[in-house]
Amino acid sequence: MSILTNKNTRLIVQGITGKQGSFHAELCEKYGTNIVAGISPGKEGTFFKNIPIYNTVKRAVKEKKANASIILVPAPYAIDAIMEAIDAGLDFVVCITEGIPIQDTMRIKAYLKNKKTKLIGPNSPGLISPGDKAKIGIMPAHIYRNGNIGVISRSGTLTYEVVAELSKNGFGQSTCIGIGGDPIIGTNFIDCLQMFEKDKETSTIVMIGEIGGNAEEKAAEYIKKHITKPVIAYICGLTAPPEKQMGHAGAIISKGKGTAEEKIKKLKNAGIEVANTIEEISAKIKT
C-alpha cells in the first residue's frame, strides 16, 4: 500500500514542453505513472508523445479527470502554476522547482488555507510508491523496492543514499516523500507522519533530517505523543562548520538552535531511535 499516490493517480505535468518537464515526464511514465495530460499555455491540441496538452489545469481536470500535478516550471512562474493547480481542486501538487523566493512561498502557504489541495515542496524531489508503480518526481527509480518502510526526508540526495542502502539490505518502501529543503514548505514531517501512521501497510517510518530550522524538533514532540509505529531518524550535519550555511535554504542555524546535536538530543529524549550513519538505519530496523 502507499500514501498520497498510487496507480490510480491521474497526473498532469505543468511545464511538460520544457526541457526538464519533458525529460522527467517521460521517465515518470516509463515507471508506470498514469500521466493523463500536460499543461503548456498556447500549445493546446498538441501532444507530448501520447500525452495531450492543454492550456489550463482546469481544462485538464475537466477533460481527463486529473487529480494531481507535478510542477516543473522555472521559479518566476511557479507561484502562478501552484495557485492554478490549487484553484482547479487537485488532491495534491508536487513542486519540484527550486529557487522560489520565500515571499512567494509565504503567499502560497496562506493561499492553501481552507483548500483541499496538499502541496509537496517546493524544492522537492517528489514522491514515489514503488509497489503501486507511481513516481511523481525526479528520483532515480531503479534504487527503490516495494515494501513497508515509509521514508520522509528534507534532502533529495540524502534520500537516495538512504533508500539505496535500505533496498540493498532487503527493506522495500511503501512511499518515499521528499518534503523539500526550503524554510517554508507545504507539507511537513508531521503531516507525513500522520499519513504513515494511518497506512496499514507501513510498519516502520524512517525520518531523514538535516541542520537548520526546528522541523525535526517539532516532529519529535509529535511522535512521542501520537505515533505508535517505530520511527528511526537520521540527522546529517554533525561535522558542519560552525556559523556556515550549508546546502538548502532551510539549513540555517540561528543562535545555536537547529544544530545536528540539538536535533539528535530532542529526538532521543522523545524515545526515538537515532542512527549515527546511513548504514546503521537498516541495522536498527532489523532489531
Cell numbers found for residue 90? 487537485
Would you call 24 a catalytic residue per the annotation? no
Name the residue among 129, 168, 167, 170 with its Cα closest to residue 150: 129
**Rounded to an integer, what distance in angstroms lies between the CA atom of residue 166 and that of residue 163?**
5
- The answer to whether 253 and 225 are in contact (CB under 8 A) is no
Name the residue among 11, 196, 164 with its Cα closest to residue 96: 11
Q: Phi/psi of residue 153, each to 5°?
A: -150, 150
Share in percent of the chain as helix, strand, coil (round to 5): 35, 25, 40
**Rounded to an integer, what distance in angstroms lies between the CA atom of residue 69 and that of residue 9?**
10
Helical H segments across 88-180, by residue range: 102-111, 156-168
Q: Phi/psi of residue 65, each to 5°?
A: 55, 40
List 24, 142, 226, 248, catalytic entry: 248
Give the active site residues. Answer: 248
